[in-house]
Amino acid sequence: MLEIEGVSAGYGRAGTAVIEDVTLRVAAGEIVGLVGESGCGKSTLARVVTGLHRPSAGTVRVAEVDVRALRGKALRAHRRQVQMVFQDPYLSLSPRQTVRQALTEPLAIHRVGDARSRAARVGELLDLVELDPQVGDRRRGQLSGGQQQRVAIARALALEPRLLVCDEPVTALDVSVQAKVLNLLCDLRDRLDFGCLFIAHDLAVVARLADRIAVMSRGRIVEQGPTAEVTTDPRHPYTRLLLSATPTM
């Protein structure tokens, strides 16, 4: 589904490298956790994958299509295939829109269906993320943090993407709410069979839902493999450091 080969990217006039020579794959129906400390380049990689930032080297392919080569209508069509869930749902949702308007907007932008079919799709999305239909008439400020993130996930799934990029989607939530959102993502992956790149700085959170884990440090992938292997037999000192920082009962 997602193939990242030797990708490097940077910012500023000097093109200061933020990520270097990153290679990573996400299969359909697979959740791959990308974990590392703040500032290591995780969010930059997410923006490269979604096309919000162009890499200086390497290739990014989604469903065997080179993202960098896309232009015009082809790029517009590609954007339906890759959607992103941001860290803070309060900031990613407009205070002026109702939930119903927020979920209808991507359908309208991409000219999917008519008014009646869009309304039906909104109802499906609310049910998909386990929200009451009455929530559709509320605005951001009338929702709890968990409800806000469920709306953000529903909006990302509105166009039936093949790849979902989640950039620390539970960091701003209480621990009990985190667990519910993580369980929801697992259930949705099983039902819809999309690939998911799940980004977090907490290895314990990633280990809870990921099939495979990639560990990033200073802009590079230093270790990756099946979750059980990485968490029980880490090879890189940085991975061992992350594990040692995880609280245990």
pLDDT (tens digit per residue) in 25-57: 999 999 999 999 888 999 999 999 988 888 889
pTM, full prediction: 0.91
Look at domain 2-88+162-244 and name its CATH class: alpha beta
Tell me: pLDDT of 167 over 70.
yes
Closest CA to 136 of 174, 43, 124: 124
* Torsion-angle region of 144 (φ positive above 0: left; ψ -120 to 50: alpha; else: beta): beta
Q: Quick one: pLDDT band at residue 174, thresholds 50, 70, 90?
A: confident
More confident residue, 247 or 162: 162
User: Would you state the pLDDT for residue 249?
Assistant: 55
More confident residue, 248 or 47: 47
Does residue 30 contact residue 196 with C-beta atoms inside 8 Å? yes
User: Would you state the pLDDT for residue 238?
Assistant: 92
Tell me: pLDDT of 14 over 80.
no
User: Would you state the pLDDT for residue 152?
Assistant: 94
Separation in Å, CA 83 to CA 109, 216, 227, 231: 14, 22, 24, 28
Q: Quick one: pLDDT band at residue 176, thresholds 50, 70, 90?
A: confident
